[in-house]
Chain A
Amino acid sequence: MKDQLYVQTQNKQSKDKNDFHLTAIQLVSAINYQAFEEKKDYKLVQESEVAIQSSSEHLEGDSKNQNLDDDDQITETSDVVLVRPELLEKVTDKGIDILNQSKSIVTTGVDLSDLVRLLVEKHSTNPEKYSSLAQKTVFLVDKDEFDTMVDIMNAKSQDFKSPVGSEDQSQAGTTDCTPFEESLIQELVKFGGFSRVVAEKIIAKEGSLEEKTLHFSQIVKQIKDGLIDVKELEEQRLAELQKQDEGKSSASSKKKRRNKSRVPQKHFDRPEEKGEILTLMRRNVHNYINREDREGGIEDFNDRYAYYQKVNVFAESESLPAEYETILKRLFSMYCRQIFWSLIQNDEVESIFGQIWDRAEETSMISSFRSFCNFIKVIGNECFITNNKKYIQSFRGFLKKVVQTCCKKDSKYKSLLNVMIKEAFIESYHDHFAELTGDSSEFNKHIYEYF
């Protein structure tokens, strides 16, 4: 997603709907995966929530202090915007302006080559203002999926916009949270059995998703230990809501949140340095867009027609959608694994084991042990390959707790280590070395036979 152009079309060849369609969650996970690494989150918003920055008002009052060169610059937000295809039909449509100022857009049923043509036309109308348009990402999803996403966002927005002091809001105790936060709160209440106040406290943590997850487990632990009194929190929230009824509306706080997501601008040592860079960039972009077509240049990559053709061929190749889908699914499972890992490493291993295996039958227990060994293997690989010291340290700590729990006197989980040693170590390495030698039948003989 960074500094590269990705092109993706819908897989129209697939017969089985469930076989291919990306779910909204997978998509948002994929978008946020890089953000997860960079310790920041992108937000999914609706087109109606986006205020188009005009050339003069983009600096929100600070424009007086800027020189004229900056007037056509647009500040990119870290929003991913849901845009209806109707808004991407003409050069003058709002959708293209939204794409220009947001991180990326999610839409449906748009013809890729038409969209590329529109983007090029739009760029030529104001090369300065739309200089980064070609670098933006457009996600094309299935119509059903798009509608589902819009429905979810609409439902949350309505909850959010309901008048202060109304019956519904006072029952729910809604605060100034974004639609996604509101959705997460409801999920925590519905599936996690949390009180709404506790769910809000969990969500309120600022920071990356990893920090939020850590915060989540800390709060759960504090509630278990009696450090947090849920009733007291509920009373406090009620008092706060009453104050809010009397005071200001939540509109100003929402505006602050929106401003917070803006990408910080680079600072320049010399004031004229910024102007020089902008002039250079403009000249390059201008030269690139207005370059002359060479004679008979249909085969030339620089020729626009040939370029469209190449993009179309690339996007329509059979393997691309499947490959893209596999990668997204892999990212999604990696993301889930990280969340699961953040949760369990702060908990008691024995209680986790108890929850997973105490009610299991012996046969399913063995298969579950194998899955756990697999989990350890993947987490271990990830943490040593990334060479993240904090990750490695927490992995070592977790392993120690697991082995200690399994090695306790009369431990029910001792067979986990037996399975791990027999299958995950000895057998898997036998197979691995057999593959290396290229003669598995030779290697399958018992180890004693070699001596």
Chain B
Amino acid sequence: MNPIVLNEILTLVFEHDVSIIFNDLVDIISLYTAVCMYFSGDNDLKSKVFEQIIRILELARKSASDEGGEKLVSLE
């Protein structure tokens, strides 16, 4: 999948139902980071991808802390 399309779809998923990605959270962050490094020439895409990574991490942190930190421990 084209990284631009990947970014478009994931951004829409985060906006509409973020719970879909929780099962594959680590994979998605890893994938996002790898894509970002690989296509590092495209600064616009890079900034958009970093924006989404920060968004995911923030959502994950919130969700984890809401459930008494259990998820945070499992993520560690």
CB distance from B34 to the nearest CB of A (A): 6
A307 within 8 A of B: no
Contact partner of A377 (CB less than 8 A), chosen from B1, B15, B26, B34, is B1
Identify the A interface with B (CB < 8 A): 376-377, 380-381, 384, 396, 399-400, 403-404, 406-407, 414, 417-418, 420-422, 424-426, 428-429, 433, 436, 447-448, 450
Cα distance, A433 to B31, chains bound together (Å): 10
Q: What secondary structure prevails in chain B residues at the interface with A? A: helix
Residues on A with beta carbons closer than 8 Å to the beta carbon of B28: 421, 425-426
- Total A-B contacts with CB atoms under 8 angstroms apart: 70
Residues of chain B having any CB pair with chain A under 8 Å: 1-2, 4-6, 8-10, 12-13, 15-17, 20-21, 24, 26-28, 30-31, 34-35, 38
B5 CB contacts on chain A under 8 angstroms:
376-377, 380-381, 384
Identity of the chain A residue whose Cβ is nearest the Cβ of B26 in the assembled complex: A447
> Helix, strand, loop or mixed for chain A's interface?
helix
Residue ID in chain B nearest A396 by CB atoms: B8
Residue contact A403 to B6, C-beta cutoff 8 Å: no
Q: Can you sample 9 A-B contacts with CB below 8 Å? A: A403-B12, A403-B15, A417-B17, A418-B20, A421-B13, A421-B21, A426-B27, A429-B35, A433-B34
CB distance from A400 to the nearest CB of B (A): 6
* Residues of chain B contacted by A425 (CB below 8 angstroms): 1, 6, 9-10, 28, 31
Q: Are A447 and B30 in contact (CB under 8 A)?
A: yes
Inter-chain contacts of A403 with B (CB < 8 A)? 9, 12-13, 15-16
| CB-based contact B2/A380 at 8 Å | yes
* Chain A residue nearest to B23 in the complex (CB): A418
| B1 engages A428 (CB within 8 Å) | yes
A448 to B6, CA, bound (A): 22
Determine the chain A residues whose CB is within 8 A of the CB of B24 once the complex forms.
421-422, 426
Question: How long is the Cα–Cα vector from A380 to B35 in the complex, in angstroms?
Answer: 17
B16 touches A407 (CB 8 A): yes
